[in-house]
């Protein structure tokens, strides 16, 4: 079992498994599983008490065959070279899967944002923007939000970049606030694609989503919006967790009220509507129809996968299942819908934002929602077709086949072919 693997090794296995079906040369597969560049910078920043602290930070540019590098910026103590390399690889195949003209990148700063004041986070963000400025650009590499970053950080990144460049360039970063060139619908976009993917999955499996029970691990941007939209579709949110622990109620939670509680108190635990509290592992193995891991990588390994009771898993986080977990779940006939499709709504609306910035013409929320739905439904159908056509063992393999074919085609058209 390959379960001790880190995210980058898991990512490489996912690509290699699909590449086998496509019978690609080993040299091509190496290229498809290796980042083109990883920028590592050390940010020395003055804290509020006048002392200096140095933070490790990264920007991994995986592939730009289909367009500029694209991907989020993460603030978390677990951020490492291995992690950003994996996340930038997943971005590459996500943009291929959902068919937007980007390559893949990811960046991050290794820090616990909760341990710093807002002014310190601003100085750290501006130092990061200045450090990566030489390698980003509207046609080169376009950062966006990820774990523990959002409109505030994207606005600071844009402002620093524009100040240093001496011109306005809103399309250099996406996920900005509306008055800074952001798009309607970007904040909810990741949760929206997760809920649409769940809807399409249940339809495809001929199962009722209305009344289906749902557990969500991680109640941040991705998880809480997905939960609210699934609530609107009639699903029953019975279990939710965040880094504080989990809560359960067989009658179902009001997803928006629970989000409001977390906003006010900082945690889902202690929610008065809960009939019971759960550990993180109890949530992942709860008896539900649909499990949505929406926190971090490697949440479900082979051991936990043995006890997963859900019939369908829709991956909201990037890389929440290890290769070992996949190996356990597949023979158990548990349907796993991959991250590179399910959470692709975020980067898709980032693409819409970049298009709007470049055209200086802004779309209505209805248009954003409609175009996003078209991308998600089309990609879902392509995944289902590829699974059948290539007799792929899993939906993950099928989605990678579609995405890899697009990257390889671009590589071929550019003349990079051996
Ligand atoms: N924000 C975005 O647009 C996108 C996010 N994603 C992915 O979705 C995942 C979540 O990202 P966001 O929601 O943006 O981050 P966030 O920072 O808004 O929320 C993360 C949530 O996960 C919880 N969490 C952390 N460790 C946990 C654990 N061990 N057990 C349970 N909960 C835990 C946190 O308490 C928090 O509620 C990440 O994998 C991210 O890469 C993917 C595509 C786009
Ligand atoms: O919108 C973006 O560029 C960030 C998206 C992202 O980081 C992701 O899909 O994991």
Instruction: Give the integer Cα–Cα distance in Å for 74 and 89.
Output: 15
Distance 378 CA to ligand 1 centre (A): 26
CA nearest ligand 1 atom 18, residue: 220
Ligand 2 atom nearest to CA at 74: 7
Ligand 2, CB cutoff 6 Å, lining residues: 70-72, 91, 94, 144-146, 174-175, 318, 343, 346-347, 350
* Ligand at shortest distance from the CA of 70: 2
Ligand with smallest separation from the Cα of 157: 2
Q: What is residue 418's predicted lDDT score, i.e. its pLDDT?
A: 57
298-324 confidence digits (pLDDT tens): 999 999 999 999 999 999 999 999 999
Model ipTM value: 0.98
Active site residue 106: yes
Relative to the CA of 146, which ligand 2 atom is closest?
7
Residue 137's region, left for phi above 0, alpha for psi from -120 to 50, else beta, is: left
Q: How confident is the model at residue 3 (pLDDT cuts 50, 70, 90)?
A: low
Smallest Cα–Cα separation from 239: which of 293, 300, 198, 316? Answer: 293
Which whole-number Å values give the CA distances from 196 to 93, 143, 294, 372, in the listed order? 19, 25, 15, 10
356-371 average pLDDT score: 98
Q: Do residues 111 and 124 make contact, with C-beta atoms less than 8 angstroms apart?
A: yes
Alpha carbons 58 and 110: distance in angstroms, whole number:
9
The reply to whether ligand 1 has any atom less than 6 angstroms from the CB of 255 is no
Tell me if the pTM is above 0.80: yes
3-class state of residue 116 by DSSP: coil
Going by pLDDT thresholds of 50, 70 and 90, the confidence category of residue 416 is confident
**What does the alpha-carbon distance between residue 301 and residue 164 come to, in Å, rounded to a whole number?**
44
The residue whose C-alpha atom lies closest to atom 1 belonging to ligand 1 is: 146
Q: What percent of the chain has pLDDT over 90?
A: 98
Q: Are strands 335-337 and 245-248 parallel, antiparallel or unpaired?
A: unpaired
Question: What pLDDT does residue 400 have?
Answer: 98
pLDDT, averaged across the chain: 97
State the distance between the two ends of the chain, measured CA to CA, in whole angstroms.
Answer: 34
Ligand 2 centroid distance, CA of 154 (Å):
12
pLDDT (tens digit per residue) in 19-37: 999 999 999 999 999 999 9
Q: How far is CA 62 from CA 87, 104, 152, in A?
A: 9, 5, 26
Judged by its nearest atom, the ligand closest to the C-alpha of residue 295 is 1
What is the four-CA torsion angle of 379, 380, 386, 392, rounded to 10 degrees?
A: 130
- The average pLDDT across 277-289 equals 98
Burial level of 288, CB count in 10 A (0-12/13-18/19+)? buried
What is the 3-class SS of 194-240, one letter each residue?
Answer: HHHHHHHHHHHCCCCCCCCEEEEECCCHHHHHHHHHHHHCCCEEEEE
């Amino acid at each position: 079992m390959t379960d001790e693997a880190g995210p980058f090794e898991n990512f490489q296995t996912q690509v290699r498994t699909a590449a086998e079906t496509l019978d690609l040369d080993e040299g091509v597969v190496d290229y498809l599983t290796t980042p083109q560049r990883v920028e590592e910078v050390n940010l020395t920043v003055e804290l509020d008490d006048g002392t200096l602290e140095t933070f490790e930070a990264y920007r991994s540019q995986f592939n730009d065959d289909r367009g500029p590098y694209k991907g989020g910026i993460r603030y978390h103590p677990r951020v490492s070279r291995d992690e950003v390399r994996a996340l930038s690889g997943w971005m590459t195949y996500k943009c291929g899967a959902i068919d937007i003209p980007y390559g893949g990148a990811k960046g991050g700063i290794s820090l616990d944002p909760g341990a710093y004041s807002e002014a310190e986070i601003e100085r750290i963000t501006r130092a990061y923007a200045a450090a990566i400025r030489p390698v980003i650009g509207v046609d080169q590499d376009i950062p966006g939000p990820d774990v523990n970053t959002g409109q505030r950080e994207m606005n600071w990144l844009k402002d620093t970049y524009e100040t240093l460049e001496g011109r306005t360039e809103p399309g250099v970063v996406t996920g900005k606030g509306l008055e800074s060139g952001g798009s309607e619908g970007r904040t909810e976009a990741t949760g929206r694609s997760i809920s649409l993917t769940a809807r399409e999955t249940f339809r495809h499996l001929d199962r009722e989503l209305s009344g289906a029970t749902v557990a969500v691990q991680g109640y941040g941007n991705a998880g809480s919006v997905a939960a609210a939209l699934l609530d609107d579709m009639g699903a029953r949110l019975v279990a939710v967790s965040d880094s504080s622990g989990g809560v359960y109620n067989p009658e179902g939670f009001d997803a928006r009220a629970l989000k409001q509680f977390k906003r006010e108190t900082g945690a889902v635990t202690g929610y008065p509507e809960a009939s019971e509290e759960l550990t993180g592992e109890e949530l992942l193995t709860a008896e539900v129809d649909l499990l949505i891991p929406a926190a971090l990588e490697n949440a479900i390994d082979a051991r936990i996968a043995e006890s997963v009771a859900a019939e369908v898993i829709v991956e909201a986080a990037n890389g929440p299942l290890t290769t070992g977990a996949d190996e356990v779940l597949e023979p158990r006939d548990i349907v796993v819908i991959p991250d590179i499709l399910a959470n692709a709504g975020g980067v898709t609306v980032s693409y819409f934002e970049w298009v709007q910035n470049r055209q200086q013409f802004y779309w209505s929320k209805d248009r954003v929602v409609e175009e996003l739905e078209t991308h998600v439904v089309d990609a879902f159908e392509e995944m289902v077709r590829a699974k059948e056509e290539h007799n792929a063992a899993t939906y993950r393999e099928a989605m990678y086949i579609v995405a890899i074919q697009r990257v390889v085609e671009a590589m071929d058209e550019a003349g990079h072919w051996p």
